[in-house]
Amino acid sequence: MNIDVEITDEDRDRLAILFGQDADIDRLIRVIAQAGAAELLAQATGRAVFTTMTDLRLYRVFCLLRAGTTLKEAEPLVSFLFKVPPASARRLVENALARYEIEERATVRGRIAELLDAATWRDNRWEVGLPAGFVRDTVLNETARLSFADPQRAGRGALWKFPDETYQATREAFGLERRQRPGK
């Protein structure tokens, strides 16, 4: 089914301001439109019934994620769509992930893979950026089950230091291949 929606230059400009000139604005527009259509169809068919605005917002965030919004895009998009500060948007995304954990498992695992792949080797440890929230909690819960040393805060924002054995075991726990340390 095709549904025609008028997209103005102002719409494109506003999204470019939010996500940057290099962002794939057409993809974002498709994601937003698909999420909106999925939400309305779920309500019209009675599959989704909400008694509170919070439940509705969480479902809207879930629809955005399911339509293809990455976790990296989700926070600024939710902040923009719901007119809430970034910290509130982060909580909404985290709460939606927790509420719809089973449905969004692939999204969470994809974000974890991105973060683990972006790790850098420094001072005989892997430094992994783990922003606060559901993704970090998922990683740290997994590392707690492993029989290796726990990662430690690096003391610089969201960075965590992982011993090599812990890092490698964590990668394997999330279905990723081991990674060679630089210079080895």
Map out the domains of the chain as residue ranges.
9-103, 109-173
> Which pLDDT belongs to residue 35?
92
| Tens-place pLDDT, residues 42-96 | 999 998 888 999 999 999 999 998 888 887 888 888 998 899 999 999 899 988 9
Q: pLDDT-derived band of residue 1, with 50, 70 and 90 as boundaries? A: confident
| Tens-place pLDDT, residues 98-141 | 888 777 777 788 889 999 999 999 999 999 999 877 788 889 99
Nearest to 74 by CA among 62, 59, 85, 39: 62
pLDDT of 162 above 80: yes
pLDDT of 40 above 90: yes
pLDDT of 19 above 90: no
> Which pLDDT belongs to residue 151?
94
In sequence order, what are the residues at sequence separation of 6 or more whose Cβ sits closer than 8 angstroms to the Cβ of residue 121?
127, 181, 182, 183
Question: Could you tell me if 123 and 117 are in contact, meaning their C-beta atoms sit under 8 angstroms apart?
Answer: no
Burial class of residue 74 in the structure, from the number of CB atoms within 10 Å of its CB (0-12 exposed, 13-18 middle, 19+ buried): buried
3-class DSSP state of 95: helix
What is the rounded CA–CA span in Å between residue 184 and residue 182?
6
Q: pLDDT-derived band of residue 157, with 50, 70 and 90 as boundaries? A: confident
> Which pLDDT belongs to residue 69?
86
Q: Quick check: pTM over 0.85?
A: no
